[in-house]
Amino acid sequence: MTQDDKTLALTVGPLQYWWARPAMMAFYAEIAESQAQRVVLGEVVCSRRNEYKFDDWVDLARDLKAAGKEVVLATQALVMSEAELRTMRRIAEQDEFAVEAGDASALRVLWQAAQARPGRAGFTVGPHVNVYSREALQEHALLGATRWVPPLELALDAIARINPGASRVAGPAGEVQTEVFVFGRMPLAFSARCFTARHHRLNKDECEFRCQADADGLLLKTGEGDAFLVLNGIQTQSAALHCLLDEGQALRAAGAQAVRLSPCSRGFARVLALFDGVYNRGLDATVARSEMLELGLPGALVNGFAHRQAGMQAATA
């Protein structure tokens, strides 16, 4: 797939929730037909979500590749057990698909693979690997990274300084591309504790897989009834959705070549079309925003992080 300088390529981020197989199949069938150029697959939150095994993800990856998508396999963000390390290694060591590193364990395996097989395709530094400066991105490029998804809390002005279009960080596998998270509930924190199980008064080891009931996570409200956060197993998300629909120019100015949209259970294919329309096809952002508000999305739209404000703020671009 070719891309001119001005296009912001759309990436579908990894699914953060545990959806039953039919819902997931229907979702990715829709993605196969969508404007998305890349799709990131894999269980990134909890290894107890066992309906989809490594081979199932690879099967799905092949289907999406056949449909013309670039596919990336992501490793889990929080790795603690030997079983989780084994899964991470299977993903990081395979050569059929590109890889997104979820943590430093994966960085080590990817670095070793790059040394053992020079010329191996570069990998993506995921949003939960801490890269906050150009020097840190340079360190990851030296390991073989060719794509960077900045941490959610990093402002666009920082992203612009770290990897500007005019002077990209580069390493042995090539220049680093920037892919910015522009849509969806924000993964804000990880814990050893499963908050969903805790809410249901269950231990993590006997969680009864309750998170399957929450297609967009389990809403946590303040004492005043305001939607605040979302419990998603061991992950805590924002209740509001990050939305940089109005920041197309600012994203390009910051050196972004791609944008990441994080799946939600309703209206996602339309969201992809609207972002593509606004960023790449001249659709009016105000029109797109009004339509988005009619889609039944799970929360309000905010953009504070992009503008160096509290993430929950809705700032004017």
Binding site for another protein (CB under 8 A): 77-82, 84-85, 88, 103-105, 107-109, 111, 128, 130-136, 138-140, 151-154, 157-158, 161-162, 186, 188-195, 198-199, 203-205, 218-226, 228-229, 231, 236, 238, 304-305, 308-312
Q: What is the nearest approach in angstroms of another protein to the Cβ of residue 155? A: 9
Q: What is the nearest approach in angstroms of another protein to the Cβ of residue 288? A: 25
- The distance of Cα 159 from the centroid of its chain, to the nearest Å, equals 16
Q: What is the nearest approach in angstroms of another protein to the Cβ of residue 176? A: 14
Q: What is the nearest approach in angstroms of another protein to the Cβ of residue 190? A: 5
Between 9 and 231, CB nearer to another protein = 231
Q: What is the nearest approach in angstroms of another protein to the Cβ of residue 138? A: 8
Q: What is the nearest approach in angstroms of another protein to the Cβ of residue 157? A: 8
182 in Cβ contact with 147 (< 8 Å):
no
CB-neighbour burial class of residue 139 (10 A; exposed 0-12, middle 13-18, buried 19+): middle
- The distance of Cα 34 from the centroid of its chain, to the nearest Å, equals 17
Return d(Cα 256, Cα 258) in angstroms, integer. 6
Between 31 and 77, CB nearer to another protein = 77
Is 110 strand, coil or helix?
helix
Backbone angles phi, psi at 123, to 5 degrees: -115, 170
Return d(Cα 254, Cα 155) in angstroms, integer. 10
Q: What is the nearest approach in angstroms of another protein to the Cβ of residue 130? A: 6
Sequence-separated contacts (24+) of 305-311 with Cβ below 8 Å = 305/152, 305/153, 305/154, 305/155, 305/186, 305/242, 306/155, 306/156, 306/242, 306/244, 306/247, 306/250, 307/155, 307/156, 308/155, 308/157, 308/158, 311/152, 311/153, 311/186, 311/188, 311/238, 311/242
Between 164 and 267, CB nearer to another protein = 164
Between 33 and 132, CB nearer to another protein = 132
Between 219 and 269, CB nearer to another protein = 219
Between 79 and 274, CB nearer to another protein = 79
Between 2 and 81, CB nearer to another protein = 81
Dihedral angle computed from the Cα positions of residues 249, 312, 194 and 214, in that order, rounded to the nearest 10 degrees: -80
Q: Spell out the residues 6+ positions from residue 279 whose beta carbon is closer than 8 angstroms to its own.
A: 7, 8, 248, 251, 259
Between 204 and 270, CB nearer to another protein = 204
222 in Cβ contact with 228 (< 8 Å):
yes
Other beta carbons less than 10 A from residue 93's beta carbon: 14
Q: What is the nearest approach in angstroms of another protein to the Cβ of residue 54? A: 18
Q: What is the nearest approach in angstroms of another protein to the Cβ of residue 171? A: 13
Between 21 and 221, CB nearer to another protein = 221
CA nearest to 172, candidates 119, 93, 116: 119
C-alpha dihedral sign at 196, 267, 69, 169? negative
